Structure 1
């Protein structure tokens, strides 16, 4: 993970783009890229979108990860640790014995 983040930061810094990358604008860019990912599925079934747009889906996922990892770097957040922490929180909110096979929100279990 560290090597990947180093490459992302180097890519940005080689272009002197860090001057444009504050938390607000990174969050906006992340959201825009997620919307571009979502757009690939518009008016199609999941299967159609994946079959027809797989390369574009990969590119948009990479863009989302790019901005998420840049935010982590710039804010001093360890992405691995925050993911593990969030998985723990979700495991507590959605215990297997209550959530197995259910699409209900934790407040409805």
Structure 2
């Protein structure tokens, strides 16, 4: 259950980043409110998952999902650079996330 909460927290972290971009520096009300809601929800779910997961693992996975997911969607939706080195870097982040999940005792 903790891993599912952590995964959802990571997805909300991606939504947080996109809402923040859409808020244009918190000058647009609805995207700004969505930024606050998704950010708070993401941190809340992260804290619930840390009840049973090690802190370092949970936080690293949360930030990894958020960073890689945001970068991937930025390329797919916003037309951001899909340079090979950028893609390789994202693969390395996701490899680290998977590796942390596979460590016994997590």
TM-score above 0.5, yes or no: no
Structure having the higher Rg: 1
Query: What TM-score results when the alignment is normalised by the length of structure 1?
Result: 0.39
